[in-house]
Amino acid sequence: MAVVSTGFIVFDLCLIIGAAFLAALVYFKHSYRYWKVKRVPYLEPTFPLGNDEYFFTKSATFAGEAKSWYDQLKARGHKFGGAWSFYRKVLVLVDPDYIRDVLTRDFHHFANRDMFANEKFDLQGCHLFNVRNSHWKPLRQKLTPTFTSGKMKMMFESVMQCCDHLVEHLEECAETGENIDSRKTLSSFTIDVIGSVAFGVDCNSFSKEESDFRKYANLFFRPNFLDYIRLLCLKLFPDLARKLRLKIGNTRRTKFFRDMVKQTIDHRIQFKVTRPDFLQLLINMNVERDGKEVLSFDQIVANTILFFVAGFDTPSTAMNFALFELARNPDLQEKARQEVRKVMGRNDGQTTYEGLREMTYVKQVLDESMRMYPPLLTLSRVCTKDYELRNTDIVIEKGTSVVISTLGLGRDPEYFPDPERFDPDRFSAEEKAKRHPYVHIPFGEGPRNCIGLRFGVMQSKIGLARILSNFRLSVSLKTKLRINLDKKLFLLKENEPIYLKAEKL
């Protein structure tokens, strides 16, 4: 009897799974007719992945597949077109005028990023990047004062001190002739910067012993199997995920940073310690004004973690590829070096906050690096109320995801002829004036652009200036001639390490 009973259970389970599969098939087939019914040009989907190139994407947002969508629609002469991420309908924008409409002109229809947030059950996972609806604007207004010119100047010295460790490390490599793992080296620098500027912690990431701070920091970019499952669920079934109280962050990582923030706050309040860093600016807001809390502890934790993740990865990626291209283009490297030395010569041989603004060619190097290798592969928004595309009768319905491929725009030969060639002169004032302003948007545009872009640029320029003024770089023979990019992450990475050689000047 037990065998017969077990057989019935297995049979029933197979029927349930089969019925669920058929229901999914019917739903997907109906969903896959969506853009055709709306008379929108679209890419033919395949069940069950739609137009996803990566079945197990490592991101909770759209990754490198958006570049493929952009290229296909552009090749067909379309200004926009439909695609599917599994069953989810996606509108891909190609024409920069429509991109400007969505990000800026008609922003009120697209205020939400297509990122998971659970404002009710995951307060420490809701930060400025993913918070939705009416929550984002008040938070943006609270955090904006932390990135004024005065605050940037306050953090400048901390970045310069961290750069001393970077220069010392490169000096050792130059003396021994050691190959330099570019990303690892620059990540150590940016971890030191964010540890100091965000948390007031001296990480000393260039030491041989790995600190807890560095260990947990690296875990943000090394998701495990359960992280993949959770991220896939958040991407495909966000409403269900909220009901199940799922969180976007790994509990261990969040707990580590939460405890660090709490200990730092308690220490500073108890001993009346203040530091010129990001966390101090947030602590100063964690007071009541007119009976209202300006910034809660949960908001401080969430946005400190966001500041860490963005400030750690984005500048290191920009500098990593910039140094790689300069190393294999020695004439451009020398041009950048001469500008740095000329500016430093006007400031008693020092790199100063004011002097950074005069390093226009170094900024062009960074812009060209982010054109070819944008740290953030895609920008995505969700339509919050029905919207009619300009000069059409097509209505984007509420809840529809809208995707912009920064990698597709940056590698588009219409805007950047010979796009595989590294040429910082593309970003001279004269050349920029000839292009549509929305074809190079590595930090986004409009009211929800990257709030910390000025800090990221400052940090990257300091790193490049200090390196170029002290070392001549070349590409190690250990580096492959062609760098393959990992497009499964929404934050761009190279698949193989980039190794450089440094010669002390």
Tell me: is residue 450 an annotated ligand-binding position: yes
What does the alpha-carbon distance between residue 441 and residue 124 come to, in Å, rounded to a whole number? 28
Beta strands in 76-233 (DSSP E): 80-85, 88-93, 112-113, 180-181
Nearest to 95 by CA among 438, 448, 447, 371: 438
Cβ–Cβ < 8 Å for 367, 439: no
Q: Which one-letter amino acid corresponds to residue 8?
A: F
- 10 Å Cβ neighbour count for 432? 13
Beta carbons within 8 Å of 49's beta carbon, 6+ residues apart: 55, 86
Q: Where are the alpha helices (DSSP H) in 328-472?
A: 330-345, 353-358, 360-372, 406-410, 429-434, 453-470
Q: Which one-letter amino acid corresponds to residue 211?
A: S
What number of CA atoms fall less than 13 Å from residue 394's CA on the CB side? 20
Assign 3-class secondary structure to 142-168.
Answer: HHHHHHCHHHHHHHHHHHHHHHHHHHH
Please give the annotated binding residues, written as ranges.
Answer: 450
Query: Known binding site for heme: residues?
Result: 450
